[in-house]
Amino acid sequence: MSAGWSWFVIALVVSNILGCVWLLWWTARRRPGDPAPTETSHVWDGDITEYNKPLPRWWINLFYLTIIFSVGYLVWYPGLGSFAGYAGWTSQGEHDAEKARQDARLDETFAVYRDRPLPELAADPAALALGRGIFANSCATCHGSSAQGAIGYPNLADDIWHWGGEPEQVLTSVLDGREGVMPPWGVVLRGMGGDQAIDQTARFVLAMASPDPAALRDFDAVRGKKYYDGVCVACHAADGTGNAALGAPDLTDDYWMYGKSMASLRETIANGRHGVMPAHREWLGETRGRLVAAYVWSLSRQQAGAETAAQ
């Protein structure tokens, strides 16, 4: 708050307090020349008369005590512009203290799960239930209540992991977050072959994921391989299987986080993508983060088990 606004607030508060004091003093007693209490001419039903009399003294004194209390309150707590009050109280401090108390209670509740490996937690029904609840409160906004994600948000219920699906890799994603950056290659590719180069690169990428080997022999896919080898192999590898250390997705599977259409691929190649998974270590803490990571990891294990059973 600027000094000008601070003084404005102080002047406003003080003037209101002084105004209340003056109003109480002025209306607390009758003065010579005032009409008699019965001279209001407000009479109902013949015998109900409205009087004009000052408040009882005890009532007036209560108002004065209220004003004195308000002055003390403004001295002890913040309320006069930028004056912080002698107590040093702030809403932020109150919030932090309450959060610390609640975090301590949660830590005590979750202590039994502290530092336990994710596979062990994933085998514990009670731990999974807690992880599911934490997921619903903290993760479902982006990944959906069923963890199947949406455009731009990965599906956590399958067995495809851009940053690796080992338990510790999943835990790192939850606690410390991830930032995936696909650089925009539009300018580079247009310099190599115009807008057609972007389309042909997209065709080759689609061909790598196609179950039909003949797709790689398509004219545009063959031309696109040249561009792919020039700008994409550093992250996605020559065979398109990606690099989990960089978060570069496998382009040979059938999962496309931003969509599989040519329009979506052209947008991705030309203008890039920037996906951010926020770090949850500070929000959830180590133990609750471990529980939700175990729940997410268990979803992929269920998917893998279902695929094995289907085979």
Q: What is the CATH number of the domain that holds 269?
A: 1.10.760.10
User: Residue 285 in contact with residue 107, Cβ under 8 Å?
Assistant: yes
Is the residue at 94 inside a domain? Answer: no
| SS3 label, residue 243 | strand
Task: Identify whether residues 286 and 166 lie together within a single domain.
Answer: yes
The average pLDDT across 218-240 equals 95
Hey, what are 254's tokens? 């059938």
Report helix angle 91-109 to 281-310, nearest 10.
40
Task: Identify whether residues 69 and 43 lie together within a single domain.
Answer: yes
Task: Note the pLDDT of residue 255.
Answer: 92
CA distance 210 to 157: 23
Task: Identify whether residues 259 and 239 lie together within a single domain.
Answer: yes
Task: Identify whether residues 283 and 173 lie together within a single domain.
Answer: yes
Task: Note the pLDDT of residue 107.
Answer: 83
Is the residue at 296 inside a domain? Answer: yes
Task: Note the pLDDT of residue 11.
Answer: 95
Is the residue at 185 inside a domain? Answer: yes
Task: Identify whether residues 167 and 296 lie together within a single domain.
Answer: yes
Burial class of residue 88 (count of CB atoms within 10 Å of its CB; 0-12, 13-18, 19+): exposed
Task: Identify whether residues 239 and 257 lie together within a single domain.
Answer: yes
Amino acid (1-letter code) at residue 177: G
CA distance 105 to 252: 47
Total structural domains within the chain = 3
Task: Note the pLDDT of residue 77.
Answer: 93
CA distance 139 to 131: 11
Task: Note the pLDDT of residue 308.
Answer: 47
Structure confidence by residue, pLDDT tens digits, 102-133: 988 888 889 999 999 999 999 999 999 999 99
Is the residue at 243 inside a domain? Answer: yes
Task: Identify whether residues 264 and 195 lie together within a single domain.
Answer: yes
Task: Identify whether residues 44 and 121 lie together within a single domain.
Answer: no
CA distance 165 to 122: 14
Look at residue 298 and tell me whether its pLDDT is greater than 80: yes
CA distance 177 to 160: 17
CA distance 170 to 198: 33
Residue identified by tokens 């009409």 is 35
Is the residue at 99 inside a domain? Answer: no
pTM confidence score: 0.70
Structure confidence by residue, pLDDT tens digits, 48-104: 888 877 888 999 999 999 999 999 999 999 988 888 899 989 999 999 999 899 988
User: Residue 279 in contact with residue 267, Cβ under 8 Å?
Assistant: no
Task: Identify whether residues 140 and 289 lie together within a single domain.
Answer: yes
Is the residue at 93 inside a domain? Answer: no
Task: Note the pLDDT of residue 309.
Answer: 47
Percent of the residues in the chain that have a pLDDT greater than 90, as a whole number = 77
Look at residue 302 and tell me whether its pLDDT is greater than 80: no
Is the residue at 232 inside a domain? Answer: yes
Using 50, 70 and 90 to split pLDDT, how confident is the model at 5? Answer: very high
**C-alpha radius of gyration, the chain, whole number:** 35
Task: Identify whether residues 188 and 173 lie together within a single domain.
Answer: no
At residue 18, φ and ψ (nearest 5 deg) are -65, -35
Report helix angle 125-138 to 281-310, nearest 10.
120
Structure confidence by residue, pLDDT tens digits, 23-50: 999 888 877 877 787 777 888 888 888 8
Is the residue at 100 inside a domain? Answer: no
Q: Which domain holds residue 35?
A: 3-87
Task: Identify whether residues 157 and 186 lie together within a single domain.
Answer: no
Beta-strand runs (E) in 52-192:
178-182
Task: Identify whether residues 235 and 201 lie together within a single domain.
Answer: yes
